[in-house]
Structure 1
Amino acid sequence: MMDAVEDHDYESLGANSSMLANAIAGALAGIAEHSIMYPVDSIKTRMQVLSPTRQAMYTGIGNAFSRITTTEGARTLWRGINSVVIGAGPAHALYFATYEQCKEAFGGNVATEGHHLLATGAAGACATIAADALMNPFDVIKQRMQIHGSVYRNVFECARRVYAAEGLIAFYISYPTTLTMTIPFQSIQFASYEYFRKVLNPRGDYDPKTHVLAGGAAGAIAAAATTPLDVIKTLLQTRGVSLDARIRQCSGLWEASKIIYERHGAAGMFRGLRPRVLSNMPATAISWSVYEYFKSFMNSREESKVEMLQH
């Protein structure tokens, strides 16, 4: 019985597994991914925010880490993590379930030679449209709590005060920019992951090392390519607490990009590049590893039940 479970083609798991199994595996992967790398994400946010005060300016990852921990305490790096934990579970459940269903519909699971880059990239785009609609408000709350001088005591107070002061639009002002960033990010990530996974593991067997390496490489490539859009997203999501009147009134992607370019030039579009890559590379490796493990585990249990019923 165990041979039958271990020898199945791992590439076909998405097609054979239930949507519930994909959703549960995705939820666990999302929580693990965001929680473990949260402090690095906090540093990235601090480095991207356009601040008029020198106190909140950082020259690098080490400088940011040292200043935050010595002046505000190490716990500051974890401010807002509850928002990510609350939102990441359901958002990633929807994300991976949508991805597997779309990948199957687009022919990404067809057992033929080649890498199906278009099918997996399109499935990743569909997945992120659905998941970001759910996750965007939680991301806004997270970044409001991460910035220097944040006055919110917890995520619920932050959500209430942001809504009272700025309305529902505050939670979705960055959604078009988020999609502009995450659609290419996820398309690049999913296509790269599937490519590296097949190169490193042509047989398609379950192999944790493959998922770590392929996930890490995919995350680094996607993060580096979409950093300018992430900088714009951060400006839009934190505009309500800015002391700069022009930033507070910024209404969208193009205006935000002009502000950043006028003040910091082309280099300004890559603020936070290193912490973004450093957080996404292990985070994506963790996400794919956790996801593939639980997907394999649940599929193995389902197959075992079927074989027991047959005998």
Structure 2
Amino acid sequence: MSESAKEQPLPFAFQFTAGAIAGVSEILCMYPLDVIKTRLMLQVGTGGDQYKSIFDAFRRIVKEEGPRTLYRGIIPPILVEAPKRAIKFAANSEYGNMYLKMFNLEKMNQLVSVLTGVSAGITEAVIVSTPELLKIRLQAKENAGRYNGMTDVIKKVYATEGLRAFFNGLESTIWRHALWNGGYFGSIFMIRDVLPKPESKQGNLAVNFVAGAIGGTIGTTLNTPTDVVKTRIQAHLPSHGPKIYSSCIPGVIHIYKTEGFMALYKGYVPKVLRLGPGGGILLVVFDQVTTFMRNHFM
């Protein structure tokens, strides 16, 4: 997504491949923080056997459950990373072209960059909602020993909760991805516009990483409350009793009233530590792969 990469649109297949490589690279590097984030988000109240911090969670997970637990539930997100990241970047480009024509603009501006990000996020959410549910079920501490991998989760969810259960949390997932992508791509546009144009390959890498990392941090700050609600909705089992959260905004209000504002940011530290640098990794890898493809295949 460098300036040179915008001169000639890449075919969808190239966008798909670059997005897949960027997504899988990011998740392999940063996934353990996602497991810790989920554990912290599912904690209600204080005291007891709860994790005291990100470091306490990491230490106890490794000690009590083994280091492999830090990669529990990674298969669903890896399987969905190719279409997910392809849609994140390719849909952002397509929506950008659509809005430029709709508003009769010659180039992107701040408002359009946010709007394209939100639109791409909504599209992305529809793809990732069900794999997210499977991942959450595998990551939840109380489910240790309940499931024997992704296939077993699918079988048991269908048998005990029905087909509709696979779409639990879809609305909250849409909120989560719309806010993150809007913040991410909107920030990237703003930061690239403010920073001096790089004059070297190393400078371009640095600008991309900084822009992506700041964008990832802003997106994470915007969407964490909706992510907390989404995680709790998708972790809910019939054995837990009646559902507490019916949808995203009422869920945010309920958590605020019953647990306080800070509860809406449970898991924020591991999440931002993942998606801040992770946003930089995504942008750098995507830009490098698309540049390679442009130089060698076009």
Does the pair score TM above 0.5? yes
Q: Residue 57 and residue 259 in structure 1: after superposition, are their counterparts in 2 closer, same or farther (change >3 A)?
A: farther
SS of equivalent residue, structure 1 residue 57: coil
Using a 3 Å threshold, how does the CA distance of structure 1 residues 140 and 63 change in structure 2: closer, same or farther? same
Change (3 A) 1:51 1:203: closer
Q: How does 1:31-50 map to 2 (within 5 A)?
A: 31-50=24-43
Residues 52 and 60 from structure 1, CA distance in 2 versus in 1: closer, same or farther, beyond 3 angstroms?
Answer: closer
The residue that corresponds to 1:4 in the other structure is none
Task: Spell out the pairing of 1:1-311 with structure 2 (5 A cutoff).
Answer: 9-10=3-4, 12-13=6-7, 15-51=8-44, 57-107=50-100, 116-150=109-143, 151-202=146-197, 207-240=204-237, 244-246=240-242, 248=243, 250-303=245-298
Q: Distance in 2 between matches of 1:72 and 1:89?
A: 30
User: Which of the two has higher C-alpha Rg?
Assistant: 1
Contact 2:100 2:106 in 1 (8 A): no
Shift of 1:249: 5.5
Contact 1:173 1:252 in 2 (8 A): no
String of CA shifts for 1:50-95, please: whole Å, max 9, x gaps.
4589665212101111111111111111001011110111222222
Matched residue type, 1:265: G
Q: Would you say the 8 A contact 1:121–1:190 is kept in 2?
A: yes
Bigger shift: residues 24-33 or 284-293: 24-33
**Pair 296,259 (structure 1): closer, same or farther in 2 beyond 3 Å:** same
What amino acid maps onto 2:139 in structure 1? Answer: Q
SS in 1 for 2:114: helix
Which residue identity is paired with 1:26? G
The CA deviation at 1:202 is: 2.8
Q: What's the RMSD between the two structures over aligned residues?
A: 2.4
Alignment check: 8 A CA contact 2:24 2:81 kept:
yes
Given that 2:16 and 2:87 are in contact with CA atoms closer than 8 Å, whether structure 1 keeps it comes out as yes
1:120 and 1:187 in contact (8 A); partners too: yes
With over 3 angstroms needed to count, the CA separation of the structure-2 counterparts of 1:177 and 1:286, relative to structure 1, is same
Q: Is the 1:10–1:204 Cα contact (8 Å) retained in structure 2?
A: no
Query: Cα distance, 1:201 vs. partner?
Result: 4.4
For 1:205 and 1:129, the matched residues in 2 are separated by 35
**3-state SS of 1:251 partner:** coil
Preserved contact between residue 126 and residue 174 of structure 2 (Cα < 8 Å): no
Using the aligned pairs only, state the percent identity.
Answer: 27
Deviations 1:124-176 (A, max 9, x none): 12212222111111111111111103221111111221122112322222111
How many correspondences in the alignment?
Answer: 290
In structure 2, stretches of 5+ residues that fail to align are none
Shift of 1:9: 4.4
Q: Cα distance, 1:191 vs. partner? A: 0.8
| Residue pair 1:22, 1:97 contacting (<8 A) in 2 also | yes
Which amino acid is the alignment partner of residue 182 of structure 1? H
Q: Distance in 1 between matches of 2:45 and 2:6?
A: 53
C-alpha separation in 2, matches of 1:192 and 1:255: 28
Secondary structure of 1:106's match? Answer: helix
Decide whether the 8 Å contact of 2:212 with 2:279 is kept in 1.
yes
